[in-house]
Amino acid sequence: MKEEKGGKRAHDKASAPEVPAGPLHTDQAIVETLKINYMPYAMSVIVSRAIPEIDGLKPSHRKLLYTMYKMGLQKGTKTKSSNVVGQTMRLNPHGDQTIYETMVRLTTGNQSLLHPLVESKGNFGRVYSRDMKYAAARYTEVKLAGMCEALFRDIDKDAVDFTDNFDSTTKEPTLLPSAFPNILVNPNQGIAVGMASSICSFNLKEVCEAIISYIREDAVDWTQLLPAPDFSTGGQIIVSDSDLRRIYATGRGSFKVRSKYRIDKKNNVIEVFEIPYTTTTEAIIDEITKLVKDGKIRDVNDVRDETDLEGLTLTIDYKRTADPEALMQKLFRMTTLQDSFACNFNLLIDGRPMVLGIGGIVDNWLKFRMNCIHRQCAYDIERKGERLHLLSGLAKILLDIDKAIRIIRETKTEAEVLPNLMKAFAIDKLQAEFVADIRLRNLNREYILRQTADIAALEREIADLKDILAHESRVLALISDQLAELGKTYGQPRRTEILHEAHVEEITDDSLIEDFNLKLFLTAHGYLKKVALVSLRSANDHKLKEEDAIIQEIETHNKADLLVFSDHQVVYKLRIHEINDAKASNLGEYLVNLCQMDPDEKAVYMVATDNYEGSMLFAYENGKMARVALNAYATKTNRKKLANAYNGESPLIRMLYLTAEQDLAALSNIDKLLVFNTAELNVKSTRDAQGVQVLKSKKGSIMVSLRTLGEAALSSVDYYRASVPAIGCYLKEEDKEDRQVVLF
């Protein structure tokens, strides 16, 4: 048995493949690997998928539109979208759903384009709705829009190059000979590898008039000719001359677009009926709902989408006490009811991605369009020349029709007919074939005269076409005439209203903060409650942890600043509106976490202020007191933690916030009481000043308490009053009753 096992092992060893000596991996240079594996993919996405070309189309758009053109959908009735999708797959191998999604964006129903290229019937969703889905391709119908006639102008006259489709079974155009600058008229966005494109749309009529002016004058101010972009969803565009000039010059920059709305004060309703092109109604509703839940917006009762067949309507119900205009200003700042459109005019020019300004785009489009016209004219000259050549031969026959008939009749063989005609009338073979193919019924003088009457017209047309080719000014004039005709035929009023930045109220951060009266409560265990006064009216019983108690409460408002002093001589600065709202039934915010205090640190006092007026009074066990201006805690930067907030050499007895001069009572541990006025203490600008002696020490006595006169409830104030520094007077018996030593 052992021998069998040993023999089997020997056999397995012998049959196992030999492992080559040396390393089991090969090193690859990362740069070379990227060139071989990554660069072809990246270039394919850039050149053949994501970046639009000078005709304003991506390859997927062009394949779809050309398929519809070949299907005869320029005129006539609509056909099912599924028919178009199926036919387009001969040019576009990326799948039927992808093709249909491309079609959806081009339709009149979806409203993505300022000038849709596909006329549609059925549900194609809406560009301003995230959740409104388009119907399946088998239910919807499409045809080419009227504008596509200009998009395909002279495409059958060799105006553009054609190339093989993906399987070389048919031809497709590399570009469409668009007679209008579709690259500027319709918006286009795409994300490629390492680059992107985002081109906004402009009004067709304005673009046509601007280019005509540019052709006539050459040096123009584009900001004067094109006042601003125009979007299919309308709204209002906020422009500044500097931003617009930068975008027009470089092709990069951004501008703001905001919604249009109307206010129904009778029903406390705001109706938004146009929104920015970059957002959707559902996104806006979600944003407003979140703001209401977070307590950042308190004036909205309800928000809902009431869009119907008449168009978009976003309804916001606001509270009766709210200011609707102020509310909209807040929503503009905090939601995409006002949004930004980032421009990146990146397009392919002769297969190369280039970021161009308006002038650069127009120059390249004119160059492309002039080339299309040159090619179309050359094609017409060739075809008309061929026709003229044939008619010239026919004209020679006109000199003696009977001779031609006799030659044909007397010729013995068919092969000799053409040579005999060529010899008799001095014409070439093509002319002879044309004459020989004339039917017998057409061998009459009327037919021949009618045919030859076109010779003079053809000669004039050919001469005119050659003149166009010879003079660039005539080509540009032809482009101008076509643009003027298109602007007049398909031009529409501007949809997006223009607002100049200087006329728009600037929305500041402070204006977005909702202001209301509230109370702040500080507990001994370091909890802070922010409770609106409205909420306090309905519930006054505070929820506290066991053995916890409220040590301070102040009334203020939501836009004030809060200073929280700790027992580590540190002050923490907070904005009250950033503190979460609470109710009396909540514990509130734990200041150790909110202010990121040390674990053994404790909050002992708080001050709310708007303008940092007044002063802080610090009373120490050694009888000294320091009065520090509150503006010493104001900083130009947004520092949230200030060290050395007060002096720490002697234990702190109490701190008070003073807004006006007042009388205070200082008590020592030997029952000596001193009444003094705070006016006797000079205000210091140094936060950790030691202060001045107020209550003198006697036989090592220390100060144990500082109270206001209201808290002290003294029987005779003048008895204890003295100028500082002083030891004070012993407490009277009647003032010793119910005496409490209050530290803070």
Dihedral sign (CA 44, 46, 47, 49): positive
Residue type, 656: L
- Asked if 705 and 673 touch (Cβ cutoff 8 Å), the reply is no
**φ, ψ for residue 307 (rounded to 5)?**
-65, 135
Tokens standing for residue 486: 């298109």
Sheet holding 141-144, edge to edge: 79-80, 141-144, 118-121
| Rounded distance between C-alpha atoms, residue 462 and residue 529, angstroms | 90
The one catalytic residue in 41, 139, 214, 318 is: 139
- Asked if 617 and 656 touch (Cβ cutoff 8 Å), the reply is yes
DSSP string spanning 106-166? Answer: HBTTTT-SSS-SEEEES----TT-SS-PPPPTTT-EEEE-TTHHHHTTTGGGT-S-EEE-T
**φ, ψ for residue 410 (rounded to 5)?**
-85, -10
321 in helix, strand or coil? coil
Dihedral sign (CA 83, 84, 86, 87): positive
The neighbour count for residue 693, using CB atoms within 10 Å, is: 14
Residue 23 preceded by cis peptide, ω within 30: no
Q: Which helix (H) or strand (E) holds 555?
A: strand 550-557
Largest CA distance in the chain: 160
Dihedral sign (CA 207, 212, 214, 215): positive
| DSSP H helical ranges for 343-444 | 358-398, 401-410, 417-425, 429-436
Residue 69 annotated among the catalytic residues of the structure = no
Q: 111-132: string of b/e by CB count within 10 Å (b at 16+)?
A: bbbbbbbbbbbbbbbbbbbeeb
Name beta bridge partners: 523: 550
The neighbour count for residue 282, using CB atoms within 10 Å, is: 15
List the one residue out of 591, 636, 596 whose CA is nearest residue 612: 636
DSSP string spanning 179-236? Answer: SS-HHHHS-EEEE-SS-EEEE----HHHHHHHHHHHHHHSS--HHHHS-S---TT--E
Q: Which residues are identified as catalytic?
A: 139
